[in-house]
Chains A and B, each alone.
Chain A
Amino acid sequence: AQSVTQLGSHVSVSEGALVLLRCNYSSSVPPYLFWYVQYPNQGLQLLLKYTSAATLVKGINGFEAEFKKSETSFHLTKPSAHMSDAAEYFCAVSASDTGRRALTFGSGTRLQVQP
């Protein structure tokens, strides 16, 4: 079984500041991990994924995440926030074995970017 915990339902940063969105996972098998972004009235867009290759994963829009097995974490970062980054962000996990294929999502973090 897998689960995801996202710490902080709301995060507010100033434009140009570092963005850090936290995600911790629990999985009985090696996980595949994903970050998705959702803009208002839209579906989820994939930002990046970890599938057991490099532990530092670079995604779109300048985001990256680092898989840390010892901390069971997959935090999302961006060095400098832009106003267009304001959205809701979801961390998700799926099993790497032949078990459940569907994604298990965290509860989401709404990012607000202040001018």
Chain B
Amino acid sequence: GAGVSQSPSNKVTEKGKDVELRCDPISGHTALYWYRQSLGQGLEFLIYFQGNSAPDKSGLPSDRFSAERTGGSVSTLTIQRTQQEDSAVYLCASSLSGTGVRQPQHFGDGTRLSIL
């Protein structure tokens, strides 16, 4: 389809392992966002990419979290040495332009991450 695609849809892993979550934005969308949705914290911003500009990493909760966006398209969110508090749904969104914040963000269905 033409929407934001995230994979995997579900991920179960053991505490201490590294995980990679993938986001494929809508074609032509230059802005890409990662959010985390958890029971205790609601929806939290993690990181934002806009074109070739330096990403806004102000929402990353610790240095175990990192993200990259290759070729201005697909993005990968990596969590190293996972902890149980990392269990959440990780949502990716994209929009036409970050400079025009009128443009709404379109969300994927998320990756549900469970840390055992």
Contacts and interface: CB of A to CB of B under 8 A. Distances in A.
Contacts of A105: 35, 42-43
Nearest to A34: B104
A61 B102 CA distance: 21
Contacts of B4: 43
Given A49-B104, A102-B45, A44 B31 contact: no
A46 B106 contact: yes
A43 B107 contact: yes
Which residue among B31, B59, B98, B105 has the maximum number of chain A CB atoms within 10 Å of its CB?
A: B105
Interface stretch (A20-28, A62-70, A76-84, A89-97): A89-97
Interface residues of A, number: 26
B31 A101 contact: yes
A104 B45 contact: yes
Contact of A32 (B99, B101, B106): B101
Interface in B60-116: 91, 93, 98-99, 101-102, 104-110
Contact of B98 (A41, A51, A101, A108): A101
Contact of B43 (A90, A96, A98, A100): A90
B109 A43 contact: yes
Nearest to A39: B109
A23 to B, nearest CB: 14
A106 B37 CA distance: 12
Interface of A: 32, 34, 36, 41-46, 49, 51, 90, 92, 94-96, 98, 100-108
Interface of B: 4, 31, 33, 35, 42-43, 45, 48, 50, 56, 58-59, 91, 93, 98-99, 101-102, 104-110
